[in-house]
Amino acid sequence: MDEQPRLMHSHGVGMAGHPGLAQHMQDGTAGTDGEGRKQDIGDILQQIMTITDQSLDEAQARKHALNCHRMKPALFNVLCEIKEKTVLSIRGAQEEEPPDPQLMRLDNMLLAEGVAGPEKGGGSAAAAAAAAATGGIGADNSAEHSDYRAKLSQIRQIYHTELEKYEQACNEFTTHVMNLLREQSRTRPISPKEIERMVSIIHRKFSSIQMQLKQSTCEAVMILRSRFLDARRKRRNFNKQATEILNEYFYSHLSNPYPSEEAKEELAKKCGITVSQDVIVLTVVSNWFGNKRIRYKKNISKFQEEANMYAARTAVNATSVSAHGSQANSPSTPNSAGELRALIKGCWVLLALLTCQTPETCS
DNA sequence: ATTTATGATTCGGA
DNA sequence: TCCGAATCATAAAT
Protein backbone atom coordinates (compact mmCIF):
# COMPACT_ATOMS: atom_id res chain seq x y z
CA MET A 1 0.00 0.00 0.00
CA ASP A 2 2.96 2.28 0.31
CA GLU A 3 2.85 2.52 -3.45
CA GLN A 4 -0.23 4.61 -3.34
CA PRO A 5 1.21 8.06 -2.66
CA ARG A 6 3.56 7.67 -5.52
CA LEU A 7 0.80 6.38 -7.76
CA MET A 8 -1.30 9.33 -7.01
CA HIS A 9 1.35 11.70 -8.04
CA SER A 10 2.31 9.85 -11.12
CA HIS A 11 -0.34 11.60 -13.25
CA GLY A 12 -1.15 8.41 -14.98
CA VAL A 13 2.18 7.93 -16.68
CA GLY A 14 5.23 5.83 -16.02
CA MET A 15 3.58 3.09 -14.05
CA ALA A 16 6.14 0.56 -15.16
CA GLY A 17 8.04 -0.95 -12.29
CA HIS A 18 5.26 -0.13 -9.86
CA PRO A 19 2.79 -2.98 -10.15
CA GLY A 20 1.25 -2.47 -6.69
CA LEU A 21 -2.50 -2.12 -6.84
CA ALA A 22 -2.69 -3.12 -10.46
CA GLN A 23 -1.03 -6.41 -9.74
CA HIS A 24 -3.37 -7.06 -6.89
CA MET A 25 -6.35 -6.58 -9.12
CA GLN A 26 -5.08 -8.54 -12.02
CA ASP A 27 -3.58 -11.40 -10.12
CA GLY A 28 -0.29 -10.43 -11.57
CA THR A 29 -1.23 -11.35 -15.12
CA ALA A 30 1.25 -9.75 -17.40
CA GLY A 31 -0.12 -9.42 -20.91
CA THR A 32 0.19 -7.20 -23.84
CA ASP A 33 -2.37 -4.79 -22.49
CA GLY A 34 -0.91 -4.83 -18.98
CA GLU A 35 0.47 -1.40 -19.50
CA GLY A 36 -2.96 -0.20 -20.64
CA ARG A 37 -4.66 -1.37 -17.46
CA LYS A 38 -2.10 0.26 -15.30
CA GLN A 39 -2.73 3.35 -17.26
CA ASP A 40 -6.43 2.96 -16.54
CA ILE A 41 -5.91 2.70 -12.83
CA GLY A 42 -3.69 5.69 -12.85
CA ASP A 43 -6.43 7.58 -14.63
CA ILE A 44 -9.08 6.47 -12.20
CA LEU A 45 -7.06 7.46 -9.20
CA GLN A 46 -6.23 10.75 -10.74
CA GLN A 47 -9.89 11.40 -11.41
CA ILE A 48 -10.81 10.52 -7.85
CA MET A 49 -8.14 12.78 -6.46
CA THR A 50 -9.23 15.77 -8.47
CA ILE A 51 -12.95 15.31 -8.19
CA THR A 52 -13.24 17.85 -5.40
CA ASP A 53 -11.77 20.53 -7.59
CA GLN A 54 -14.49 20.18 -10.18
CA SER A 55 -17.86 21.81 -10.31
CA LEU A 56 -20.84 19.93 -8.93
CA ASP A 57 -22.23 18.93 -12.29
CA GLU A 58 -18.86 17.87 -13.54
CA ALA A 59 -18.29 15.88 -10.38
CA GLN A 60 -21.64 14.14 -10.71
CA ALA A 61 -20.90 13.18 -14.25
CA ARG A 62 -17.47 11.98 -13.26
CA LYS A 63 -18.94 9.98 -10.39
CA HIS A 64 -21.32 8.27 -12.71
CA ALA A 65 -18.55 7.53 -15.13
CA LEU A 66 -16.45 6.04 -12.39
CA ASN A 67 -19.35 3.97 -11.16
CA CYS A 68 -19.73 2.46 -14.54
CA HIS A 69 -16.07 1.84 -14.97
CA ARG A 70 -15.10 -1.71 -15.62
CA MET A 71 -12.51 -1.63 -12.85
CA LYS A 72 -14.93 -0.46 -10.24
CA PRO A 73 -16.04 -3.90 -8.91
CA ALA A 74 -12.47 -4.96 -8.40
CA LEU A 75 -11.59 -1.76 -6.57
CA PHE A 76 -14.72 -2.14 -4.49
CA ASN A 77 -13.76 -5.66 -3.49
CA VAL A 78 -10.28 -4.65 -2.51
CA LEU A 79 -11.51 -1.80 -0.37
CA CYS A 80 -14.07 -4.03 1.26
CA GLU A 81 -11.41 -6.55 2.01
CA ILE A 82 -9.19 -3.96 3.58
CA LYS A 83 -12.03 -2.62 5.65
CA GLU A 84 -12.94 -6.08 6.74
CA LYS A 85 -9.42 -6.71 7.92
CA THR A 86 -9.15 -3.53 9.93
CA VAL A 87 -12.37 -2.21 11.40
CA LEU A 88 -14.69 -5.15 11.29
CA SER A 89 -12.28 -7.66 12.70
CA ILE A 90 -12.24 -5.65 15.89
CA ARG A 91 -15.98 -5.43 16.11
CA GLY A 92 -16.39 -9.02 15.09
CA ALA A 93 -14.92 -10.19 18.36
CA GLN A 94 -17.96 -9.22 20.40
CA GLU A 95 -20.37 -11.03 18.13
CA GLU A 96 -22.16 -14.33 18.60
CA GLU A 97 -22.78 -13.69 22.29
CA PRO A 98 -24.65 -16.47 24.07
CA PRO A 99 -28.40 -16.03 24.68
CA ASP A 100 -29.04 -13.71 27.59
CA PRO A 101 -29.96 -15.80 30.65
CA GLN A 102 -32.24 -13.06 31.94
CA LEU A 103 -34.10 -12.99 28.66
CA MET A 104 -34.50 -16.73 28.83
CA ARG A 105 -35.84 -16.43 32.35
CA LEU A 106 -38.39 -13.85 31.26
CA ASP A 107 -39.40 -15.95 28.28
CA ASN A 108 -39.87 -19.00 30.44
CA MET A 109 -41.93 -17.12 32.95
CA LEU A 110 -44.17 -15.57 30.31
CA LEU A 111 -44.65 -18.99 28.84
CA ALA A 112 -45.44 -20.49 32.22
CA GLU A 113 -47.95 -17.79 33.03
CA GLY A 114 -49.63 -18.29 29.71
CA VAL A 115 -48.90 -14.77 28.51
CA ALA A 116 -46.74 -15.99 25.69
CA GLY A 117 -47.42 -19.18 23.82
CA PRO A 118 -50.78 -20.70 22.87
CA GLU A 119 -54.01 -18.83 23.40
CA LYS A 120 -55.60 -20.55 26.37
CA GLY A 121 -52.82 -22.48 27.97
CA GLY A 122 -51.13 -22.42 31.35
CA GLY A 123 -52.72 -19.14 32.24
CA SER A 124 -55.99 -20.63 33.36
CA ALA A 125 -54.16 -23.46 35.06
CA ALA A 126 -52.11 -20.99 37.06
CA ALA A 127 -55.27 -19.14 37.93
CA ALA A 128 -56.91 -22.35 39.03
CA ALA A 129 -53.95 -23.19 41.21
CA ALA A 130 -54.07 -19.76 42.78
CA ALA A 131 -57.82 -19.99 43.19
CA ALA A 132 -57.45 -23.32 44.91
CA ALA A 133 -55.41 -21.67 47.63
CA THR A 134 -58.23 -19.31 48.51
CA GLY A 135 -60.32 -22.00 50.07
CA GLY A 136 -61.22 -24.10 47.14
CA ILE A 137 -64.80 -24.96 48.01
CA GLY A 138 -67.12 -25.33 45.11
CA ALA A 139 -67.90 -22.31 43.02
CA ASP A 140 -67.26 -19.82 45.78
CA ASN A 141 -64.22 -18.39 44.11
CA SER A 142 -65.42 -18.34 40.55
CA ALA A 143 -65.81 -14.56 40.67
CA GLU A 144 -62.23 -14.03 41.72
CA HIS A 145 -61.09 -16.63 39.29
CA SER A 146 -62.69 -14.98 36.31
CA ASP A 147 -61.46 -11.62 37.52
CA TYR A 148 -57.94 -12.95 37.56
CA ARG A 149 -58.35 -14.49 34.15
CA ALA A 150 -59.74 -11.30 32.69
CA LYS A 151 -56.83 -9.26 34.01
CA LEU A 152 -54.35 -11.79 32.79
CA SER A 153 -55.77 -11.85 29.32
CA GLN A 154 -55.70 -8.06 29.32
CA ILE A 155 -52.00 -8.14 30.07
CA ARG A 156 -51.62 -10.79 27.46
CA GLN A 157 -53.32 -8.73 24.83
CA ILE A 158 -51.25 -5.65 25.56
CA TYR A 159 -48.13 -7.73 25.46
CA HIS A 160 -48.92 -9.17 22.07
CA THR A 161 -49.96 -5.86 20.60
CA GLU A 162 -46.77 -4.22 21.74
CA LEU A 163 -44.66 -7.13 20.61
CA GLU A 164 -46.18 -6.95 17.17
CA LYS A 165 -45.56 -3.24 17.03
CA TYR A 166 -41.94 -3.74 17.93
CA GLU A 167 -41.61 -6.45 15.37
CA GLN A 168 -43.06 -4.25 12.68
CA ALA A 169 -40.90 -1.30 13.64
CA CYS A 170 -37.86 -3.52 13.63
CA ASN A 171 -38.64 -4.84 10.17
CA GLU A 172 -39.27 -1.39 8.82
CA PHE A 173 -36.11 -0.04 10.27
CA THR A 174 -34.10 -2.98 9.03
CA THR A 175 -35.44 -2.61 5.53
CA HIS A 176 -34.70 1.07 5.61
CA VAL A 177 -31.15 0.60 6.79
CA MET A 178 -30.55 -2.14 4.28
CA ASN A 179 -31.76 0.03 1.45
CA LEU A 180 -29.63 2.86 2.70
CA LEU A 181 -26.54 0.73 2.94
CA ARG A 182 -27.13 -0.77 -0.48
CA GLU A 183 -27.48 2.68 -1.85
CA GLN A 184 -24.33 3.81 -0.12
CA SER A 185 -22.44 0.75 -1.24
CA ARG A 186 -22.26 2.43 -4.61
CA THR A 187 -19.96 5.03 -3.18
CA ARG A 188 -18.59 3.40 -0.06
CA PRO A 189 -17.01 0.00 0.36
CA ILE A 190 -19.84 -1.83 2.10
CA SER A 191 -19.87 -5.56 1.62
CA PRO A 192 -23.02 -7.69 1.88
CA LYS A 193 -21.44 -9.24 4.92
CA GLU A 194 -21.27 -5.87 6.57
CA ILE A 195 -24.91 -5.19 5.81
CA GLU A 196 -25.75 -8.50 7.34
CA ARG A 197 -23.80 -7.56 10.41
CA MET A 198 -25.59 -4.26 10.66
CA VAL A 199 -28.93 -6.04 10.47
CA SER A 200 -27.99 -8.30 13.31
CA ILE A 201 -26.92 -5.27 15.35
CA ILE A 202 -30.32 -3.71 14.74
CA HIS A 203 -32.04 -6.91 15.75
CA ARG A 204 -30.06 -7.02 18.92
CA LYS A 205 -31.04 -3.48 19.76
CA PHE A 206 -34.67 -4.20 19.14
CA SER A 207 -34.60 -7.38 21.12
CA SER A 208 -33.22 -5.43 24.05
CA ILE A 209 -36.23 -3.16 23.73
CA GLN A 210 -38.40 -6.24 23.58
CA MET A 211 -36.79 -7.40 26.77
CA GLN A 212 -37.97 -4.27 28.48
CA LEU A 213 -41.48 -5.07 27.35
CA LYS A 214 -41.12 -8.60 28.62
CA GLN A 215 -39.73 -7.33 31.87
CA SER A 216 -42.61 -4.99 32.51
CA THR A 217 -45.12 -7.64 31.46
CA CYS A 218 -43.59 -10.02 33.93
CA GLU A 219 -43.81 -7.37 36.63
CA ALA A 220 -47.46 -6.80 35.85
CA VAL A 221 -48.17 -10.51 36.06
CA MET A 222 -46.30 -10.75 39.33
CA ILE A 223 -48.28 -7.89 40.79
CA LEU A 224 -51.53 -9.42 39.63
CA ARG A 225 -50.52 -12.76 40.99
CA SER A 226 -49.41 -11.47 44.33
CA ARG A 227 -52.60 -9.51 44.72
CA PHE A 228 -54.61 -12.57 43.88
CA LEU A 229 -52.50 -14.82 46.01
CA ASP A 230 -52.66 -12.44 48.94
CA ALA A 231 -56.35 -13.18 48.94
CA ARG A 232 -55.56 -16.73 49.92
CA ARG A 233 -55.55 -15.62 53.51
CA LYS A 234 -59.02 -14.29 52.95
CA ARG A 235 -60.77 -17.08 54.71
CA ARG A 236 -63.77 -18.49 52.98
CA ASN A 237 -65.86 -20.75 55.17
CA PHE A 238 -66.89 -24.10 53.90
CA ASN A 239 -70.53 -24.37 53.15
CA LYS A 240 -72.77 -26.06 55.67
CA GLN A 241 -73.02 -29.31 53.82
CA ALA A 242 -69.28 -29.69 53.53
CA THR A 243 -68.84 -28.98 57.23
CA GLU A 244 -71.44 -31.59 58.04
CA ILE A 245 -69.74 -34.23 55.98
CA LEU A 246 -66.39 -33.47 57.54
CA ASN A 247 -67.84 -33.45 61.04
CA GLU A 248 -69.61 -36.70 60.38
CA TYR A 249 -66.35 -38.33 59.48
CA PHE A 250 -64.57 -36.75 62.40
CA TYR A 251 -67.03 -37.86 65.06
CA SER A 252 -67.52 -41.31 63.61
CA HIS A 253 -63.75 -41.78 63.63
CA LEU A 254 -63.19 -40.03 66.88
CA SER A 255 -60.74 -42.65 68.09
CA ASN A 256 -58.63 -42.15 65.04
CA PRO A 257 -59.57 -38.97 63.25
CA TYR A 258 -56.75 -39.23 60.76
CA PRO A 259 -58.23 -39.80 57.34
CA SER A 260 -55.96 -41.54 54.90
CA GLU A 261 -55.11 -39.98 51.62
CA GLU A 262 -57.88 -41.89 49.90
CA ALA A 263 -60.36 -40.93 52.58
CA LYS A 264 -59.36 -37.30 52.24
CA GLU A 265 -59.91 -37.46 48.53
CA GLU A 266 -63.28 -39.02 48.94
CA LEU A 267 -64.29 -36.47 51.55
CA ALA A 268 -63.15 -33.70 49.26
CA LYS A 269 -65.21 -35.13 46.46
CA LYS A 270 -68.25 -35.45 48.69
CA CYS A 271 -67.82 -31.90 49.91
CA GLY A 272 -67.67 -30.64 46.37
CA ILE A 273 -64.12 -29.43 46.59
CA THR A 274 -63.47 -29.31 42.90
CA VAL A 275 -60.07 -28.05 42.06
CA SER A 276 -57.69 -29.24 39.41
CA GLN A 277 -54.81 -29.76 41.81
CA ASP A 278 -55.17 -32.80 44.07
CA VAL A 279 -52.43 -31.65 46.38
CA ILE A 280 -54.35 -28.55 47.31
CA VAL A 281 -57.57 -30.51 47.83
CA LEU A 282 -55.81 -32.79 50.27
CA THR A 283 -54.27 -29.83 52.03
CA VAL A 284 -57.64 -28.25 52.52
CA VAL A 285 -59.04 -31.43 54.09
CA SER A 286 -55.90 -31.91 56.16
CA ASN A 287 -56.16 -28.36 57.43
CA TRP A 288 -59.71 -28.95 58.47
CA PHE A 289 -58.89 -32.12 60.37
CA GLY A 290 -55.80 -30.60 61.91
CA ASN A 291 -57.76 -27.66 63.19
CA LYS A 292 -60.64 -29.83 64.28
CA ARG A 293 -58.49 -32.26 66.23
CA ILE A 294 -56.63 -29.63 68.11
CA ARG A 295 -59.67 -27.56 68.86
CA TYR A 296 -61.66 -30.56 69.93
CA LYS A 297 -58.93 -31.72 72.21
CA LYS A 298 -58.46 -28.27 73.68
CA ASN A 299 -62.02 -27.96 74.81
CA ILE A 300 -63.90 -31.22 74.63
CA SER A 301 -66.86 -30.06 76.67
CA LYS A 302 -67.53 -27.36 74.18
CA PHE A 303 -67.89 -29.91 71.42
CA GLN A 304 -69.95 -32.38 73.42
CA GLU A 305 -73.26 -31.37 71.99
CA GLU A 306 -71.94 -31.46 68.47
CA ALA A 307 -70.32 -34.82 69.09
CA ASN A 308 -73.55 -36.29 70.43
CA MET A 309 -75.51 -35.00 67.53
CA TYR A 310 -73.23 -36.46 64.89
CA ALA A 311 -72.87 -39.68 66.83
CA ALA A 312 -76.62 -40.07 66.98
CA ARG A 313 -76.91 -39.44 63.32
CA THR A 314 -74.22 -41.95 62.53
CA ALA A 315 -75.89 -44.48 64.78
CA VAL A 316 -79.20 -44.05 63.00
CA ASN A 317 -77.49 -44.46 59.66
CA ALA A 318 -75.70 -47.55 60.83
CA THR A 319 -78.79 -49.24 62.19
CA SER A 320 -80.75 -48.47 59.08
CA VAL A 321 -78.04 -49.96 56.92
CA SER A 322 -77.42 -53.07 58.98
CA ALA A 323 -79.77 -54.10 61.75
CA HIS A 324 -77.26 -56.15 63.70
CA GLY A 325 -73.93 -55.24 65.32
CA SER A 326 -73.03 -51.70 64.48
CA GLN A 327 -70.47 -52.33 67.17
CA ALA A 328 -68.18 -53.80 64.56
CA ASN A 329 -66.76 -50.49 63.52
CA SER A 330 -66.99 -48.85 66.88
CA PRO A 331 -63.80 -46.92 67.48
CA SER A 332 -63.85 -47.60 71.22
CA THR A 333 -62.70 -51.14 70.70
CA PRO A 334 -59.48 -50.90 68.74
CA ASN A 335 -58.92 -54.20 67.03
CA SER A 336 -56.31 -53.36 64.47
CA ALA A 337 -52.69 -52.34 64.59
CA GLY A 338 -53.60 -49.04 63.04
CA GLU A 339 -56.08 -48.21 65.73
CA LEU A 340 -53.69 -49.23 68.46
CA ARG A 341 -51.06 -47.00 66.98
CA ALA A 342 -53.57 -44.22 66.94
CA LEU A 343 -54.43 -44.93 70.52
CA ILE A 344 -50.85 -44.43 71.60
CA LYS A 345 -50.35 -41.50 69.33
CA GLY A 346 -53.19 -39.24 70.22
CA CYS A 347 -54.78 -40.80 73.28
CA TRP A 348 -58.11 -39.95 71.80
CA VAL A 349 -59.89 -42.89 73.36
CA LEU A 350 -58.34 -42.16 76.73
CA LEU A 351 -59.54 -38.62 76.60
CA ALA A 352 -62.98 -39.74 75.62
CA LEU A 353 -63.10 -42.27 78.44
CA LEU A 354 -61.97 -39.78 81.03
CA THR A 355 -64.59 -37.26 80.12
CA CYS A 356 -67.21 -39.83 79.15
CA GLN A 357 -68.27 -37.74 76.22
CA THR A 358 -68.12 -39.97 73.24
CA PRO A 359 -71.36 -41.77 72.50
CA GLU A 360 -69.64 -45.12 72.23
CA THR A 361 -68.78 -45.17 75.90
CA CYS A 362 -71.97 -43.55 77.07
CA SER A 363 -74.36 -45.84 75.34
C1' DA B 1 -66.62 -2.21 67.77
C1' DT B 2 -65.59 -6.26 69.91
C1' DT B 3 -65.62 -11.07 70.25
C1' DT B 4 -65.84 -15.58 68.46
C1' DA B 5 -65.26 -19.02 64.84
C1' DT B 6 -62.54 -20.88 61.54
C1' DG B 7 -59.38 -21.74 57.52
C1' DA B 8 -54.49 -21.17 56.63
C1' DT B 9 -49.69 -20.76 57.86
C1' DT B 10 -45.49 -21.41 60.41
C1' DC B 11 -42.38 -23.97 63.14
C1' DG B 12 -40.37 -27.58 65.79
C1' DG B 13 -40.26 -32.49 66.60
C1' DA B 14 -40.45 -37.44 65.64
C1' DT C 1 -43.39 -35.93 55.53
C1' DC C 2 -47.01 -35.58 58.77
C1' DC C 3 -48.58 -33.93 63.13
C1' DG C 4 -49.44 -30.76 67.07
C1' DA C 5 -49.20 -26.31 68.69
C1' DA C 6 -49.22 -21.57 68.26
C1' DT C 7 -50.38 -17.97 65.54
C1' DC C 8 -52.30 -15.17 61.82
C1' DA C 9 -56.07 -13.13 59.34
C1' DT C 10 -60.57 -12.65 58.35
C1' DA C 11 -65.64 -14.02 58.23
C1' DA C 12 -69.47 -14.17 61.15
C1' DA C 13 -71.79 -13.25 65.31
C1' DT C 14 -72.62 -10.25 69.16
CATH number for the domain spanning A281: value is 1.10.10.60
For residue A238, say whether its CB is under 7 Å from any atom of strand B: yes
Residues A214 and A146 in one domain: yes
pTM assigned to the model: 0.47
CA gap A303, A293 in Å, rounded: 11
SS3 A349: helix
**Residue A189 resides in a domain:** yes
How many domains does the structure of chain A reveal?
A: 3
Residues A182 and A272 in one domain: no
Name the residue range of residue A156's domain: 101-118+142-232
Residues A251 and A228 in one domain: no
CA gap A72, A92 in Å, rounded: 27
Q: Which of A232, A265, A285 is the last residue of a domain?
A: A232
**Residue A22 resides in a domain:** no
**Residue A24 resides in a domain:** no
Residues A87 and A106 in one domain: no
* CB within 7 A of strand C (chain A, 232-251): 233-237
**Residue A285 resides in a domain:** yes
For residue A243, say whether its CB is under 7 Å from any atom of strand B: yes
Residues A223 and A312 in one domain: no
* Separation in Å, CA A195 to CA A91, A92, A174, A178, A203: 14, 13, 10, 7, 12
Distance A308 CA to C13 C1' (A): 24
Residues A110 and A193 in one domain: yes
- Chain C bases having any atom below 7 Å from a protein CB: 2-12
Sign of CA dihedral A304, A305, A308, A314: negative
Contact by Cβ (8 Å): A217, A159: yes
Per-residue tens of pLDDT for chain A, all 363 residues: 444 444 344 443 344 444 444 444 444 444 456 667 677 778 777 877 887 888 888 888 887 887 787 877 887 788 888 877 777 566 655 556 667 778 888 887 787 666 777 664 444 444 444 444 333 444 344 555 666 677 778 888 899 999 999 999 999 999 999 999 988 887 777 888 888 888 999 999 998 898 889 888 877 777 776 666 555 556 788 889 899 999 999 999 988 999 999 999 899 888 887 665 677 788 899 999 999 999 999 988 889 888 888 888 877 776 766 555 434 444 444 444 444 444 445 455 455 445 444 333 333
Q: Which residue is nearest to nucleotide B14 (CA to C1')?
A: A345
Give the contacts of A310 (CB within 8 A, at least 6 positions apart).
A247, A248, A250, A251, A252
Give the contacts of A139 (CB within 8 A, at least 6 positions apart).
none
**Residue A327 resides in a domain:** no
Residues A217 and A107 in one domain: yes
* Separation in Å, CA A200 to CA A98, A104, A170, A207: 14, 19, 11, 10
**Residue A35 resides in a domain:** no
Residues A109 and A148 in one domain: yes
For residue A298, say whether its CB is under 7 Å from any atom of strand B: no
Crossing angle of helices A278-298/A240-252, nearest 10°? 60
Give one DSSP letter per residue of A90-127, joined into a string: HHHTT-SPPPPHHHHHHHHHHHHHTSSSSTTSHHHHHH
